[in-house]
Chains A and B, each alone.
Chain A
Amino acid sequence: MAKTPKLTPETLKVLNAFLEDPELERYGYELMKATGLKSGTLYPILLRLEDAGWIESDWAATEESDTGRPRRRYYQITSSGQKEAVDAFREYERELASLKQLRPGWKGA
């Protein structure tokens, strides 16, 4: 069974970008712009999410004229990934709410 990825704030940013339009296939640089993360932060997260089965990826279809060129890789959230991501956000909200109960005046960072 795939390991559940560590849900850091950066991972949540990536999941949020995917959840904005789950049908959309996105490439690395596009995700960097959407999340504001650096490449060195983004790719380990993508690989962890892919390893867990939350997202999947595939090479872009190439035309004959592009033979030999490096191919772009596209990422898309899976249906199980969508469910897990939504659950992760709910869990995050619950934790935030419990923190607020501990310190009623606290409004967060």
Chain B
Amino acid sequence: MLEVLIPLFISIVSGIIVKEINAHDWGSALAVKIIDHVVIGRLPEAWRFRLKEEWLAEIENIPSDFQKVRYALSLIAGAGRIQRNYQPATDQEMMDSTEKWTGGQVDDKAFFESIAAWVEQRETSSNLKIRRMFDVIAVIIVLSATFRAFITYNAHDIYLFFAWLLGLLGLILSYIRWCARIR
């Protein structure tokens, strides 16, 4: 029984992972998450408006998913450098510069809402219902495969170990895409 189940699990999990990797927006979703949660927090307050919008626009124009993620990861170190080079300006200089970078759009909430509306619009236009249905099925299959692989885990069985690793990776990728969608 196990001889049949193991290749089955591996092929299902590998298929799901390939599907996740080929999904057209995982790179953008992950890169946006990195910028949102890691990079922006490292920047001086005065630069956040401008650089967030600039980097999000750049991500949209980078062709490969892996390059998008590389771009975002490299910005983590870049944000640290910007923070170190930053010299606080006077209050008036900060107001003037923020207004200049945002084109007068200094309302933080309005800015992020307009970006969220754009993401929502893009999602709606790409067969959202079908993609959600497939994602739910994918998560259920990956969960059961991971659970099965986990409870039968045996350090001497390399195939089960890889099935578990692949299942875990599939889950992580599904979670990232799911998080990006409900932002």
Contacts and interface: CB of A to CB of B under 8 A. Distances in A.
A37 to B, nearest CB: 9
A40 B81 contact: yes
Please classify the interface of chain B as helix (H, G, I), strand (E, B), loop, or mixed, using the class held by over half of its residues.
Answer: helix
A48 B77 CA distance: 16
Interface stretch (B11-19, B114-122, B129-137, B147-155): B114-122
A12 to B, nearest CB: 17
**Interface size class of chain A, counting residues whose CB lies under 8 Å from the partner chain:** 20 to 34
B78 A71 contact: no
Contacts, number: 74
Contacts of A105: none
A38 B52 CA distance: 17
A29 B62 contact: yes
A72 B47 CA distance: 15
B57 A71 contact: yes
Interface stretch (B1-9, B68-76, B164-172, B173-181): B68-76
Interface residues of B, number: 31
A44 B81 contact: yes
Contacts of A69: 57, 60, 115, 118
Contacts of B51: 43
B123 interface: no
A29 B78 contact: no
B65 to A, nearest CB: 15
A28 B71 CA distance: 11
A40 B61 CA distance: 17
Contacts of A27: 58, 61
B115 A72 contact: no
Given A47-B47, A48-B85, A70-B115, A39 B74 contact: yes
Contacts of B71: 29, 32, 39
B117 A38 contact: no
Nearest to B61: A29
B114 A68 contact: yes
Contact of A68 (B47, B72, B79, B118): B118
Interface in A7-65: 27-29, 32, 38-44, 47-48, 59-60
**The 6 A-B residue pairs with the shortest CB-CB distance in the complex, in nearest-first order:** A40-B78, A40-B74, A70-B56, A70-B57, A44-B81, A68-B114
13 contacts: A27-B58, A29-B61, A38-B78, A40-B76, A40-B77, A44-B81, A44-B82, A47-B47, A70-B54, A70-B118, A71-B54, A72-B61, A73-B57
Given A40-B74, A60-B57, 6 more contacts: A39-B75, A40-B77, A40-B81, A44-B85, A70-B57, A70-B118
